[in-house]
Amino acid sequence: MIDFSLPPELAELQARVRSFIVGEIIPLEEDPRARGDHVDDGFRRYLNAIARKAGLLAPQAERRWGGLGLSHLARAVVFEEAGYSPLGPVAMHLHAPDEGNMHLLETVATEEQKQHWLKPLAGGEIRSAFLMTEPDGGAGADPDNLRTTARRDGTNFVINGRKWLITGGHGAALYIIMARMAEEDGATMFLADADTPGIERVREISTMAGGFTGGHAEVKLENVRVGSDAVLGEVGKGFAYAQVRLVPARLTHCMRWLGAARRAHDIAAAYARQRWAFGARLVEHQGVGFQLADNEIDLHMARLAIWHVAWLLDRGERANAASSMVKVFCSEAEYRVADRALQVLGGLGVTTDTRVEAIFRGIRAFRIYDGPSEVHRWALARRIARTDRAVGGARGN
């Protein structure tokens, strides 16, 4: 029999994080420094200090950088609890894009690059941004459309291009820039100080998804000159490194938004238990009770799917296809949960009196970023087309 129970030490950590979020972070959600759609960077530092005192800052980072060195499965448990509050991932420094960038640096960066960039990043001293997405038909769901270029100039590289929807772009100290090599095949990642000459933050892009420190920026790169020590990993291997970052990042998004969806469900369920209409509590009407039952089904199945892929990653398996499946399933299941929760709340659901409308907006955006559901389905369909399962031949017998 498969045992799905958590080991005692992980169950204890889960309870510890849950207590931290409910007792110390949720009471701060109305702080004006959260600014509604975006979290003020000074407030982020304040939240980080609270998490650091609790021993919960960047728990996913290796212990040498001050984290807890959590496995992927342990992250699934902890990140869900953190996501129960929109400020939880910010406080615990496991929000996108910093969490994914830490993983990328831990995996690919040189020791010198880790000391220079990863150490302060893991400690919450700085923030980072990942510059891959481009406007005007450039890289997005299809990274092969990458238009930003890097050309060699002696021992240096000169980068030109334009990026947009760069999460955390305003106020980040580190930019990880994806560029196509002008003289050779492949893409390369570069580490650059955000204040490097030639880097211009053109504007902040308003989106439906709030809660991100530094918002979403459009960035212009004009003759940005960096040295050979700025290359992350090897020249020409940028797309491979992108998968190193994106495969687990898809999963951690699912983890955090699972916590948010659970929060929306809990709010709706509590309301349905105490609100009376047509002679009974709302929860006793099938139209409402069945929606809440479906929520619990979606939450449970999303959690199992996340845990399964986390287990695969902990075993060292690539899990590219599995992460695509889970990203599609979880983003859509968690969206259904938020949608039903809003519906159960009725008029209250469309107001800002509860967190549900913000959770609904955020999860709706999650169905787009890190690859729209349609792109992941297309990739899975291509994989099916290439697979000869040798079952019944061409006639399907």
Q: Clarify whether residues 54 and 193 are in a common domain.
A: no
Instruction: Tell me whether residue 60 is in a domain.
Output: yes
The answer on 231 and 246 residing in a single domain is no
Q: What's residue 389's pLDDT?
A: 56
Confidence of residue 2 (pLDDT cuts 50, 70, 90): low
**113 assigned to some structural domain:** no
Query: Is residue 190 one of the residues assigned to a domain?
Result: yes
Same domain, 293 and 338: yes
Q: Is 215 left (phi over 0), alpha (psi -120 to 50) or beta?
A: left
Query: Which one of 235, 260, 284 terminates a domain?
Result: 235
- The answer to whether residue 200 is domain-embedded is yes
- 340-376 pLDDT, tens per residue? 999 999 999 999 999 999 999 999 999 998 889 999 9
Query: Average model confidence (pLDDT) for the chain?
Result: 93
The CATH number assigned to the domain holding 15 equals 1.10.540.10
> Same domain for 257 and 379?
yes
Least reliable range by pLDDT among 4-8, 257-261, 311-315: 4-8
Considering its fold, how many domains does the chain have in total?
3
Whether 254 and 373 map to the same domain: the answer is yes
Report pLDDT digits (tens) over 368-396.
988 899 999 999 999 999 876 544 444 44
What CATH number has the domain bearing residue 281? 1.20.140.10
Q: 173 and 302 share a domain? A: no
Does 244 lie in the same domain as 295?
A: yes
The model's pLDDT over 3-35, given as tens digits with 9 standing for 90+, comes to: 778 999 999 999 999 999 999 999 999 998 886
Same domain, 229 and 256: no
101 falls within a domain: no
CATH number for the domain that contains residue 156:
2.40.110.10
Q: Does the pLDDT of residue 397 top 60, yes or no? A: no
Range of the domain at 349: 239-386
Asked whether residue 274 is assigned to any structural domain, the reply reads yes
Pair 57, 146 in one domain: no
The pLDDT of 74-90, averaged and rounded, is 97
pTM of the model: 0.94
Last residue of a domain, one of 216, 235, 254: 235
Per-residue model confidence (pLDDT) at position 182? 80
Helix 286-314 / helix 238-274 crossing angle, nearest 10 deg: 150
One domain, residues 253 and 231: no
Q: Are 243 and 188 contained in the same domain?
A: no
In a domain, 102, yes or no: no
Between strands 280-281 and 276-277, the pairing is antiparallel
On the question of pLDDT at 36 being above 60, the answer is no
Instruction: Tell whether 168 and 222 lie within a shared domain.
Output: yes
